[in-house]
Amino acid sequence: MPKGKPVSIDSALVEKWIMELAAFGAHSGTGVWRTVYSPEWVAAADAFEKWGRDAGLAMRRDAVGDVWARLEGEEGGSAIVSGSHIDTQRPGGRYDGAAGALAALIALKALKEQFGKPRLPVEAVALCEEEGSRFPSAGFWGSRAIVGRIAPGDPDRVVGYDGETIAEAMRAVGLDPDHAQDARRNDIAAFIELHIEQGPVLEGARLPVAIVDAITGIRHIEVTLTGEQNHAGAFPMDRRRDPMAGFAEIVSTLIDHAHRLGRPAVTTIGRVDVDPNGAAVVPRSVTFTIDARHPDPKARKALYAVHDAVLREVCERRRLSLDVRPVLGHDPCLSDPYLLEVLRSAAAEQAIPHLVMASGAGHDSQQMAAVAPVAMIFVRSKEGRSHTPEEFSSVEDLVAGTRLLAEALYKLAY
C-alpha cells in the first residue's frame, strides 16, 4: 500500500481526457472513427504526447508510431509498462483501447506527483493499429512491432481496404517502414493492460472492474461446402447433394455444442455466402466463417476437434466436398500468476470490488506476452456494448480501474 494510503486519481481529468481524445475522429454522435496513420490518429497521438510532456514525463515515439511516456527509476533496468491502443473501429466508440492508454498515462502522472521517483522505470504506451480497421491483416501492428513480429518486407505486403500499403501510410506520416523492426523491446519487466470489458459479465455482477486471468484462444476459419446445383422442385430430396442442408446441420450442431459447454466457450457463424443465391435453386456451394474461442488451452483444442469432426462427418454423409481455409489463430494467453496476485492484493487493500474472469476478446497483451509477463484489468461496459458508437463506461468505473492499475504499478515499481 503506497505510504499507507491509496493513489488518488483525478476523476475530472479522466473524463476530460476521454472526451478530448474522442474529439479526434468524432463520428455518429458518440462514436469515433480513428484509423491508424490517419490525420485523426496523428492528432490523437500528438495530444497523448503533449499530455505526457506536460506531466513531466519523458516522451518518445518508436519506429511504427507507438507513443511512449516514461517515468525514470532510481535503479534503471527493465520497465513496468501499461497501455493500450488508440485506433478505433469504423466507427467505434470512445472507450475501446483509449481508456487503457489514458489510464496508464493518468496513473503515471498521479504516481509521479504523489510519490516521486520510482525504484524501477514505469512507462505508459499508446499503441497503434490493434483493430485492423484500416489494414485488415495488420491487427496488433504496434504490439507486434514491440515483440519483433514484423518481418522485413511486411509493411509492403500489408494492404488496406482502400488499396494502399501500410508502408505508404507510414511514409505519409513521417515513419520509415524499412525500420519497423527498430520498435522491438527486450527491456519490459511486466505489462498490465486496462481495457473496457466489451461484454455484459461485470454489469450482470454489478461490479466496476475485473482482474483478467486469461485471454481467449481464437480460431477463425472459412469453410466451403460444395455439392451439386439443381432445380428446387424437380430434383428429389434423396438424390440431392445440397450444401445448404449440410450448412444448416453444421451450424445447428456447433452452436448447440457451445451452449452445452457453457461459459466461456463461444462459437459464432458470422458470414455466409451462397452460390447461387436463388429461391428456387439447390445451391452449388455455401461458404461461411466459424469463429471459435476458449481461454483454456486444453478445452480450446477439444472445442476445435469437435468442430473438425462435425464438418467431416456431415460432408461425408451428405456427399459434399469440404474446403477449410485458416484465417486467424491465436493461442490462449494465461495471465502471469505473480501479476494476478499483485492485482488481487491491490484490490483487497484498497477495497475495490471486483471479480476474476477470462477475456473473450483478443488484446495487445497477447502479443506482449512474448516478451514479458502480462495481466489485464477490465472496466464495466454498459449493456456489454463495444465496437459501436453506443459503447459506454462510467467515469466512476474508469476511476476504479485506473486506481487499481496505479496501485499495482506502485507495488511493482516502488
Count of beta carbons in the 10 Å neighbourhood of residue 75: 9
Nearest to 64 by CA among 96, 36, 101, 98: 36
Count of beta carbons in the 10 Å neighbourhood of residue 341: 13
What pLDDT score was predicted for residue 4? 59
What CATH fold (topology level) applies to the domain 2-215+332-413?
Aminopeptidase (3.40.630)
For the chain, give every domain's residue range.
2-215+332-413, 217-330
- Please spell the DSSP secondary structure of 119-152, one letter per residue: SS-EEEEEE--SS-SSSTT-TTHHHHHHTT---T
Looking at residue 157, the DSSP 8-state letter turns out to be H
Count of beta carbons in the 10 Å neighbourhood of residue 232: 13
Q: Do domains 2-215+332-413 and 217-330 have the same CATH topology?
A: no
Inter-residue contact 63 to 104 (CB < 8 Å): no
What pLDDT score was predicted for residue 5? 76
Q: Which class does domain 217-330 fall in?
A: alpha beta
C-alpha distances in Å from residue 382, one per residue of 56, 164, 208, 301, 388: 34, 36, 10, 32, 12
Count of beta carbons in the 10 Å neighbourhood of residue 161: 12
Please give the chain's pLDDT, 414 residues, in tens: 445 578 999 999 999 999 999 999 999 999 999 999 999 999 999 999 999 999 999 999 999 999 999 999 999 999 999 999 999 999 999 999 999 999 999 999 999 999 999 999 999 999 999 999 999 999 899 999 999 999 999 999 999 999 999 999 999 999 999 999 999 999 999 999 999 999 999 999 999 999 999 999 999 999 999 999 999 999 999 999 999 999 999 999 999 999 999 999 999 999 999 999 999 999 999 999 999 999 999 999 999 999 999 999 999 999 999 999 998 898 999 999 999 999 999 999 999 999 999 999 999 999 999 999 999 999 999 999 999 999 999 999 999 999 999 999 999 999
Between CA 139 and CA 36 the distance in angstroms is 11
Containing 103, the helix (H) or strand (E) segment is helix 98-115
Between CA 340 and CA 336 the distance in angstroms is 6
Nearest to 255 by CA among 221, 155, 247: 247
Whole-prediction pTM: 0.91
- Please spell the DSSP secondary structure of 230-277, one letter per residue: EETTTS-GGG---HHHHHHHHHHHHHHHHHHH-TT-EEE---EEEES-
Between CA 293 and CA 300 the distance in angstroms is 7
Q: What are phi and psi of 165, to 5 degrees?
A: -90, 160
Q: Which residue has the cell 474508469?
A: 398
